[in-house]
């Protein structure tokens, strides 16, 4: 069995989609959902799905090995960042080389980096006048949105799009492709 840990900071729609995608697959288990936000919607979603959760602070993430120990105890094979807004510290990167992936709501390298998440990304795309946007699924390294790209998918940006309508288009791409990419990585 392949065990997945999902890190999320917000509402958790991608985390829920991933969990539901694998619900009937006996070879994959969403073992844990971790969040830095005790009020994150992802925690309620995880509870409804019967997935164990763990809430941590910056000190626990960056100044201890508690999370690495927990992930190792659960025999985690892949870490998935699904709307997680903090950098992953070196101890986790070293323990899980090429085993941490992220999804970004734009076509990297454009519109990436610290502070570029959610509506900030979509506002930037709309304000730039770009005719396409999309998603980037990539491996995680020590910098925001900088790791090796696994997959990019585009969507048209029309003159009538707003940040909200673009976000809906992007979410549809995320929901369609993120679980499939995870599945492919787990087969390797």
- All domains of the chain, ordered by start, with CATH? 1-97 (3.40.50.170), 104-176 (3.40.50.170)
Of 104, 119, 138, 171, which is the active-site residue?
104
pLDDT at 19: 97
Give yes or no for a contact between 87 and 9, defined as CB atoms under 8 angstroms apart: no
The per-residue pLDDT for range 24-64, each reduced to its tens digit, is: 999 999 999 999 999 999 999 999 999 999 999 999 999 99
The per-residue pLDDT for range 1-29, each reduced to its tens digit, is: 999 999 999 999 999 999 999 999 999 99
**Counting Cβ atoms within 10 Å, is residue 131 exposed (0-12), middle (13-18) or buried (19+)?**
exposed
Alpha-carbon dihedral 154, 108, 60, 78, rounded to 10 degrees: 60
Distances (CA, A) of 177 to 13, 57, 169, 172: 14, 30, 13, 9
CB atoms within 10 A of CB 90: 10
Cis peptide bond N-terminal to 180, omega within 30: no
User: What is the percentage of the chain residues whose pLDDT exceeds 90?
Assistant: 99
CA atoms within 13 A on the CB side of 14: 30
Q: Give every CB contact of residue 154 below 8 A, 6+ residues apart in sequence.
A: 107, 132, 133, 134
Question: Is 104 a residue of the active site?
Answer: yes
């Amino acid at each position: 069995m392949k065990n997945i840990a999902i890190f999320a900071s917000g509402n958790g729609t991608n985390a829920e989609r991933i969990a539901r995608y694998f619900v009937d697959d006996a070879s994959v288990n969403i073992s844990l959902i971790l969040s830095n936000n005790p009020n994150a919607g992802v925690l309620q979603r995880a509870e409804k799905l019967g997935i164990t959760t763990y809430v941590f602070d910056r000190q626990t993430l960056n100044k201890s090995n508690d999370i690495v120990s927990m992930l190792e105890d659960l025999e985690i094979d892949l870490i998935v960042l699904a709307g997680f807004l903090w950098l992953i510290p070196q101890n986790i990167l070293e323990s899980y080389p090429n085993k941490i992936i992220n999804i970004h709501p734009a076509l990297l390298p454009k519109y990436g980096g610290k502070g570029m998440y959610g509506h900030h990304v979509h506002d930037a795309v709309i304000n730039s006048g770009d005719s396409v946007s999309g998603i980037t699924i990539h491996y995680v390294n020590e910098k925001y949105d900088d790791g090796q790209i696994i997959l990019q998918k585009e969507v048209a940006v029309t003159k009538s799009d707003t940040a909200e309508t673009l976000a809906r288009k992007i979410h549809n791409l995320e929901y369609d492709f993120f679980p499939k990419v995870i599945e492919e990585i787990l087969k390797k």
